[in-house]
């Protein structure tokens, strides 16, 4: 299941926005996990944790640049975000290799199994949410 995770600090309402920049780590483009054959492991998140710098957020540095367009860690300023169509936070900058290199697509049976696993995992998550809401 592809998703974005957002972290916010709780701040009081203000005339000017508190947010000056938003950091992104693209962990969905060209990354493929399945529940059975290639489950996500903690080690898969080590690069994100190193970039995120939870102990000292002020020392963050972008990995993405014009000279390194494959960098997964990038920041956008408030002005850049607010200028986007509908102020969407769903941002892509990495080139999806599966869309550009059709010769490297997984076999159809593998794609079908990945879709089934994603749908089953999503359905299970929705069942858990529904059960929580009924309690």
Residue 5 lies in a domain: no
Would strands 21-25 and 73-77 be described as parallel, antiparallel, or unpaired? Answer: antiparallel
Tell me if 4 sits within 8 A of 90, measured CB to CB: yes
**Total count of domains within the chain:** 2
pTM of the model: 0.63
Looking at the structure, tell me whether residues 26 and 89 fall in a common domain.
yes
CA gap 113, 37 in Å, rounded: 10
Looking at the structure, tell me whether residues 84 and 109 fall in a common domain.
no
CB atoms within 10 A of CB 29: 16
User: Which residues of 10-132 form beta strands (DSSP E)?
Assistant: 21-25, 73-77
Looking at the structure, tell me whether residues 51 and 73 fall in a common domain.
yes
Q: Is 101 a residue whose pLDDT tops 70? A: no
Helices (H) and strands (E) in the chain, counts: 4, 2
Residue 12 lies in a domain: no
Please give the structure tokens belonging to residue 43: 């080690």
Looking at the structure, tell me whether residues 109 and 90 fall in a common domain.
no
Residue 77 lies in a domain: yes
Please give the structure tokens belonging to residue 42: 């903690």
Confidence band, pLDDT 50/70/90 cuts, at residue 51: very high
Which has the higher per-residue pLDDT, 121 or 74? 74
């Amino acid at each position: 299941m592809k998703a974005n995770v957002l972290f916010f600090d709780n701040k009081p309402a203000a005339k000017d926005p508190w947010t000056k920049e938003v950091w992104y780590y693209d962990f969905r483009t060209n990354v493929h996990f399945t529940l059975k054959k290639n489950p996500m492991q903690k080690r898969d998140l080590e690069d994100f944790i190193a970039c995120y710098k939870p102990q000292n957020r002020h020392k963050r540095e972008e990995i993405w640049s014009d000279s390194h367009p494959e960098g997964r860690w990038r920041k956008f300023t408030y002005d850049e975000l607010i200028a986007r169509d509908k102020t969407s936070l769903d941002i892509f900058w990495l080139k999806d290799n599966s869309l550009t290199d059709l010769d490297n697509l997984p076999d159809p049976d593998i794609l079908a199994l990945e879709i089934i696993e994603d749908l089953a995992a999503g359905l299970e998550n929705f069942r858990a949410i529904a059960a929580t809401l009924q309690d």
